[in-house]
Amino acid sequence: MFRAASRRASAQAQKLAQAQRQPWTRSIYSNNGRPALRPRCNNINSNLFTIPHTRHLTIGQKIRLKYREASKGVFRKNPVLLPLAIFSVIGGIAVFAYVSYVEVTRVQPQYHKFPQPVTDQLRTAVYYTEIDLNPPKALKAYKEALRIAAEMGMHPFSDEVLGIKLQVAMMLEKSGLVNPAVEVLERTKTEALKWIEEGRKAESAPGDAAKAAQVPVKTNTSSEIAQINADDLQDAEKKLKEMQEFEAKQRDRALKKVVGIEMKLAELYASEYIQDEKKAEDAQVAAVELCLKEMHRRQKLGLPVGGGAAGEGDSEAWLNITEIATALAELADTYTAKDRSELALPLYLRALEMIRVTEGDSPSCKQVVLLNSVASAMAGQAQVPAKPRPQEKQTASREQTIDAARQWAQKAIDVAARIQPPVRNEECDMTCVAATYNLGEIAELQNKPDVAQQRYAEAKSLAQGLGYEEGVSMADEALKRLKN
């Protein structure tokens, strides 16, 4: 029974398979060979007869497709290298942008006044000065730059040429060759002063200039030739005047450089490499004498005492009032350090007068420093033994000097109190500490220990608030001295 049922199921399955394996031609043609209206099998998918259209990808789509395929799992496979690579790319871009910014804003402005051949040599020299310090190669490049500048007609005492020579001295100092640097500065100073002096003499002799300006005029009755000669004479006079103005401006600029050279020489002579205090003082004195001499010359000629000659664009040709006052104050500081207050006091007072005239009703910390310096000089002068005089007169003079020093120190504190940020800076605060300490010393000289102790305590408190360790130490020593 079960065998019969299985045979019937097998037969039905074979019939069904044969029906499915019938060719397609039999489904679309009838028995007489004519096509039927519709196929016999209705469940055939019509998509089988559609011809597929090929779609071509663009280059951008191919790149994006490849990028997507490559980026799949890249972070999982490289969790450390991928962020590091991204940061490296960003860092490289930032460094390149910074280098470009420095090149445009700092490097190129330093060379734009030089011809290209000189610029090439200067870049080499600066490389062997700032990047890879090599004095022989740097010096060779600087010499070549000076030679090319001379051949191309650059003014031998212009800011550019003098700047190259000063750069040579700076390179030698940086290399530890201080004595050669001093020799370069001394030679540059001597040559510039000689040229300035000769130019000033020629300038003060108008007759020679007039002879140099004469243009030969042909004697002819023709009015046209006379007019041409007159025009030539006028043009020659105009060019001569322009040249004289240019030379005068160059002399002012060169003299300004000479004052700076003197100050630099004073620094080098006082350094640990040379330690010649006498030459350092002489250089500072020479700088101040040049400043004062030039001020008197300008006052006599009716020119501005500070800055360049009258006219636009000349404000930086000569030292301004603040720079001259700084030179005076630095020399006064040298005298103060050597306990020569009688020489320092006039310089401080002159510098203070200049600063007051310049700043007017808007004082700065420079006034505060100079006021306290005047007080210190007066207090030091009061402690110097005076020459033999009648006792009463000698005591009165000393007391007056001490009281004047007290007033100057108090004035420094009062002026500092009126100065507000951003004009007020750390210099004002430290000067207030020094002025308060000076008031304590002055009270000691006046035999007022209680006042002196109060002032020293105030100075210590101010110094602690500023983190001024030297001021705290000085105040502590003074308080211990009072107790003993």
Lowest mean pLDDT among 32-36, 115-119, 233-237: 32-36
Query: Helix 223-270 crosses helix 159-174 at what angle (to 10 degrees)?
Result: 20
The mean-pLDDT minimum among 42-51, 152-161, 254-263, 343-352 falls in: 42-51
Give the count of beta carbons closer than 10 Å to the beta carbon of residue 377: 26
Q: Does 210 have pLDDT greater than 90?
A: no
Say which residue the tokens 């007169």 belong to: 393
Residue 474: both structure tokens together = 């000085």
User: Which residue type is seen at 439?
Assistant: L
User: Could you give the CA distance from residue 117 to residue 128 in angstroms, rounded to a whole number?
Assistant: 17
Report the pLDDT value the prediction gives residue 395, as an integer from 0 to 100: 47
C-beta atoms surrounding 144 within 10 Å = 17
The larger pLDDT score, comparing residue 332 to residue 21, is at 332
pLDDT digits (tens, 9 = 90+) for 163-196: 999 999 999 999 999 999 999 999 999 999 999 9
Secondary structure in 3-state letters for the chain: CHHHHHHHHHHHHHHHHHHHCCCCHHHHECCCCCECCCCCCCCCCHHHHCCCCCCCCCHHHHHHHHHHHHHCCHHHHCCCHHHHHHHHHHHHHHHHHHHHHHHHHHHHHHHCCCCHHHHHHHHHHHHHHHHCCCHHHHHHHHHHHHHHHHHCCCCCCCHHHHHHHHHHHHHHHHCCCHHHHHHHHHHHHHHHHHHHHHHHHHHCCHHHHHHHHCCCCCCCCCHHHHHHHHHHHHHHHHHHHHHHHHHHHHHHHHHHHHHHHHHHHHHHHHCCCCCCHHHHHHHHHHHHHHHHHHHHHHHHHCCCCCCCCCCCCCCCCCCCHHHHHHHHHHHHHHHHHCCCHHHHHHHHHHHHHHHHHHHCCCCCHHHHHHHHHHHHHHHHHHHCCCCCCCHHHHHHHHHHHHHHHHHHHHHHHHHHHHCCCCCCCHHHHHHHHHHHHHHHHHHHHCCCHHHHHHHHHHHHHHHHHHCCHHHHHHHHHHHHHHHC
Answer yes or no: are the C-beta atoms of 137 and 131 closer than 8 Å.
no
C-alpha to C-alpha distance for 263 and 327, rounded to whole angstroms: 8
Max CA pair span of the chain: 163
Contact 149, 191 (CB under 8 A): no
Which residues are registered as beta bridge partners of 29? 35
398 pLDDT band (50/70/90 cuts)? confident
Kindly report the average pLDDT of the chain as a whole number: 81
Q: Residues 205-223: what's their mean pLDDT?
A: 47
Q: Which two tokens stand for residue 70?
A: 């490559």
Distance (Å, whole) CA 372 – CA 408: 7
CA-based radius of gyration for the chain = 45
Taking the C-alpha atoms of residue 192 and residue 157, their distance in angstroms, rounded to an integer, is 7
372 has pLDDT over 50? yes
pLDDT tens-digit readout, 40-52: 445 545 444 454 5
Phi and psi torsions of 29, nearest 5°: -120, 145
pLDDT tens digits for range 420-465: 999 999 999 999 999 999 999 999 999 999 999 999 999 999 999 9
The half-sphere exposure of 150 on its side-chain side, counting CA atoms within 13 A, is: 8
| Residue-level pLDDT at 80 | 76
Domains recognised in the chain with CATH numbers: 343-484 (1.25.40.10)
Cα dihedral 188, 194, 197, 198 sign: negative
The per-residue pLDDT for range 331-362, each reduced to its tens digit, is 999 999 998 999 999 999 999 999 999 998 89
Q: Are 339 and 383 in contact (CB under 8 A)?
A: no
pTM over 0.85: no
- Using the structure block, give the residue that is written with the tokens 């007019």: 227
On whether the CB atoms of residues 303 and 317 are closer than 8 A, the answer is no
Burial of 177 (0-12, 13-18, 19+ CB in 10 A): middle
Looking at the predicted structure, is the pLDDT value of residue 475 above 70? yes
